[in-house]
Amino acid sequence: MAYPIHYLALLSAVAILLLRALYARASIFRRERRFAREHGCAPASRARGWDPVLGLDHFVRLGRAAAERRYLEYWDRHMFGRFGHTFTIDLMGQRLLFTNEPRNIQSLLVTRFSDFDIGQRRRDNSAQLLGVGLFNADGPVWEHARATLRPNLTRAQVADLRLFEKHVAVWMAALPAGGEAVDLQEWAFRFTLDVGTEFLFGTSSGVLHPQATAQSRRFAWAFNLGVDGVAQRIRLGRLAPFYYNAEYKKACKMVHDYVDPIVSTALEHVNEARLTKHEADDERYTFLAALANEGLSPKQIRDHMLNILLAARDTSACLMGAAFFELARQPAIQAKLRAEIDGHLNGRLPDYDDLKGMTYLNWFIKETLRLYPPIPLNIRVANKDTMLPVGGGADGTAPAFVPAGQEVAYQVFSTHRRRDLWGEDADMFRPERWRDVRPGFQYLPFNAGPRICPGQQFALLETSYVVVRFLQEYARLEGPSDEPQRWTENYTLTCSVGQGAWARLTKREEPVQASA
């Protein structure tokens, strides 16, 4: 009987995965025994299923949960709830270690930081869109990118809120005036793209404008599709090489075609010794200008720009979307915020100190980040045999062995919802909890340690500014129906609200006359 070639190819691929998995298990088992004797470690508990090698049952269930937009919920309730706070799981022949334990996350990000890398798999699966930069680099490349970005994120740089006001004014002016429901999350992604491109490139994409150019709209579409493609490849793990999407390849080219001329112009200006300060602001140096003066190649500059733009756009947009989602279904919280804003500002534009000084506003932002962290899951790869402080042994109290090459996934989405850490109301949106909470590694919306998000303050200020300006401008942000919406996820590289943040906006009878 003759079998189709594609069937034989698939069978061969599965056989190779199986043999590699068995060989890796035997090697790890020998090293684990030796390391355990020397350091008092024990293996983490295992998420067992009916397929003990490839974990096909887990793979299918997780795929179904992802399709139903409950992937993170499935991990939180069904996996951590069943197998404990630290466990290993087999997925397509690869053994992964998952944890939501703050002590282990602290070890990954701080105390044993040098034992873990971002890893080659993330670089391979994102390189077609992003190249190599802050998001996916290790070692000197990452250190250089971070050092170059840091001068652009000092307090003096981010405290100048004129950039936010410029684009939020365009946003509010572009919204329909008839009271129909709009998806504020979709608008937030446009806003953060416009802000991010102007902050980094010195020129805005302009996608907030109703008359946005076709080129800008294509760039926004292509960037969205590219980010989704990267996420799909990372999630497929070892199966990523078998995944091909012509639209993804096309999107990557469109993104590069948009950015490359901007980079070329910056390099031309440097060569003419004319680009030393950002011309729109006497004291501000754009990230592009800094890179152009570093002597990097055009591709290296493009790689760094796209890595930073990914963080600048998606993190803030996801946070804003979740904030609008809760505002639309929480009229009491909305009223408290508006009262604080009106009492504090008395009709003027907020400055840096105002945003930092409004207590309830900051509680609201922190609670949004707790329940809806923009980056709910992250991965590190052990570069040597090492260990985590807890999670090993039958009761999970012994140190857990982590072999070299082991991928460790830490899920702050689940950490942020643990009842033993946050109380029985951990699933409830309650800003007032921050009156007394002083969290450590149980709260990590922006990571920690050397790889803490360098744009953390920028994202917090940007979101706070948008919330304040909308509540100054509108008397009500109401959900599209009388029944509060149930949150669903849209999890790619970041996590946004699956159904969007829909709201009907009612302008104030006497709108705030904001003046600087």
Task: Please state the residue numbers annotated as binding site for heme.
Answer: 453
SS3 of residue 379 by DSSP: strand
DSSP for 2-38, written as a single string: PPPHHHHHHHHHHHHHHHHHHHHHHHHHHHHHHHHHH
- Please answer whether residues 79 and 377 qualify as being in contact, where contact means their C-beta atoms are separated by less than 8 angstroms: no
Known binding site: residues? 453
Token digits for 418?
A: 């643990």
Task: To the nearest 10°, report the CA torsion of 354, 355, 356, 358.
Answer: 80
Grouping H, G, I as helix, E, B as strand and the rest as coil, residue 217 is: helix
Contacts of 40 (CB under 8 A, 6+ apart): 398, 399
Distance CA 502, CA 328 (A): 8
Q: Which of 474, 506, 475, 500 is nearest to 487 (CA)?
A: 500
Q: Determine the 3-state secondary structure of 99 from DSSP.
A: strand
Backbone angles phi, psi at 111, to 5 degrees: -70, -30
Of 163, 170, 393, nearest in space to 286 by CA:
163
What does DSSP assign to residue 134?
A: T
Residue 421 phi/psi, 5-degree rounding, is -100, -30
